[in-house]
């Protein structure tokens, strides 16, 4: 089974703090993704990565950056957290060799910025 692990289920941070959200997958997938999920807005893609040290902006990259130093790990960084970044953050991974690049998700990190 594909396993995508997000390091924290819940995080509470202060405005202006630098926040790191970590994601690890154990299936040697090439592709990794970060989404945020908000009521009524569905899943919105923040950043994705096709390979180590490679990143592409998604639909809402502003206020975020990412790091992929190793194939299995994809980090989302909030350089200076703001209250409008309070959300559920979801990491996913996929591989083109499996079922049309279908994405497998982690359990999510619920971030509250106070």
Answer for which of 41, 52, 54, 114 binds other proteins (CB under 8 A) is: 41
114 contributes a contact to other proteins by CB under 8 A: no
Answer for which of 32, 90, 111, 113 binds other proteins (CB under 8 A) is: 90
β-sheet bridge partners, residue 15:
none
112 contributes a contact to other proteins by CB under 8 A: no
Q: Which of 88, 90, 108, 80 is nearest to 14 (CA)?
A: 80
Question: Considering only 12-20, 61-69, 77-85, 104-112, which stretch makes contact with other proteins by CB under 8 A?
Answer: 104-112
CB under 8 Å to 77, separation ≥6 — which residues?
A: 18, 19, 20, 21, 64, 65, 66, 67
Answer for which of 12, 52, 107, 114 binds other proteins (CB under 8 A) is: 107
Distance CA 29, CA 1 (A): 12
40 contributes a contact to other proteins by CB under 8 A: yes
Q: Write down the least CB distance from residue 11 to other proteins, Å.
A: 14
Distance CA 75, CA 99 (A): 25
3-state secondary structure of 77: strand
Q: Which residues bind other proteins (CB under 8 A)?
A: 4, 6, 31, 40-43, 50, 90, 92, 96, 99-108, 110
């Amino acid at each position: 089974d594909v396993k995508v692990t997000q390091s924290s289920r819940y995080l509470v941070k202060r405005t202006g703090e630098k926040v790191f959200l970590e994601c690890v997958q154990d299936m040697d997938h090439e592709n990794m993704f970060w989404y945020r999920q908000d009521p009524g807005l569905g899943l919105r893609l923040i950043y994705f990565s096709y390979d180590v040290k490679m990143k592409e902006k998604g639909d809402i990259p502003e206020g975020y950056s990412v790091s992929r130093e190793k194939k299995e790990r994809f980090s989302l960084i909030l350089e200076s957290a703001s209250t409008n970044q309070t959300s559920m953050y979801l990491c996913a991974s996929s591989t083109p060799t499996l079922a049309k690049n279908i994405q497998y998700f982690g359990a999510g990190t619920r971030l509250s910025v106070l």
